[in-house]
């Protein structure tokens, strides 16, 4: 039983061309890797950015919901509503390092509406300017007690 290596190297037609082919193709893998590496890094960091974006959006949505929940108990205390919403946004870094913006749009009668918004700054935006920043906003509306 002969292995592939032994049968391949014993073939006289390929053995004569092997040293010349090896010299010609010596850096082929390195060139191919250099061409594909930027795309792989962009894909890798893009996946990380989408994960950061989803985490920030979920945190902002939770902060709006908790602010509205605080507001249904004490609707006249806008400072307390804002403090409650901002307390839950720790870890969310908006553009320029500012905290998220908490606002109170005009709600329908008998409800409390809290909106938390943030301009999310991406790392990948340094390479793709169209993705430099994304506006995140979440609104929660609840019935007053």
Which pLDDT score, from 0 to 100, does residue 139 have?
93
Query: 119 phi and psi, to 5 degrees?
Result: -90, 105
Does any domain span residue 3?
Answer: no
Q: Provide the sign of the torsion angle of the four alpha carbons 47, 52, 55, 61, taken in this order.
A: negative
The pTM assigned to this predicted structure is: 0.73
Domain count within the chain: 1
Does any domain span residue 8?
Answer: no
76-133 pLDDT per residue, tens = 888 999 999 999 888 787 877 888 888 888 777 888 999 999 998 888 877 778 777 8
Give every CB contact of residue 92 below 8 A, 6+ residues apart in sequence.
Answer: 56, 59, 60, 99, 100, 118
Does any domain span residue 87?
Answer: yes
Give every CB contact of residue 32 below 8 A, 6+ residues apart in sequence.
Answer: none
Q: What is the mean pLDDT of residues 132-141?
A: 89
Average pLDDT, the chain: 82
- Numbers of helices and strands, H then E, in the chain: 5, 3
Q: Are 102 and 86 in contact (CB under 8 A)?
A: yes
Q: What is the mean pLDDT of residues 33-62?
A: 92
Does any domain span residue 2?
Answer: no
Q: Are 85 and 116 in contact (CB under 8 A)?
A: yes
Does any domain span residue 84?
Answer: yes
The helix/strand/coil state of 89 is coil
Does any domain span residue 79?
Answer: yes
Does any domain span residue 18?
Answer: yes
């Amino acid at each position: 039983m002969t292995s592939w290596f032994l049968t391949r190297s014993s073939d006289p037609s390929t053995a004569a061309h092997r040293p010349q082919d090896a010299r010609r193709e010596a850096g082929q893998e390195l060139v191919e890797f250099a061409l594909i590496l930027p795309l792989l890094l962009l894909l890798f960091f893009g996946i990380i950015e989408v994960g950061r974006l989803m985490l920030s959006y979920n945190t902002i949505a939770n902060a709006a919901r908790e602010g509205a929940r605080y507001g249904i108990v004490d609707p006249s205390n806008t400072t307390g509503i804002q403090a409650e919403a901002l307390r839950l946004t720790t870890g969310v870094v908006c553009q320029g390092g500012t905290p998220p913006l908490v606002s109170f749009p005009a709600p329908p009668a008998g409800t409390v509406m809290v909106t938390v918004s943030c301009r999310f700054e991406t790392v990948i935006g340094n390479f793709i300017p169209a993705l430099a920043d994304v506006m995140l906003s979440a609104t929660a509306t609840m019935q007053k007690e």
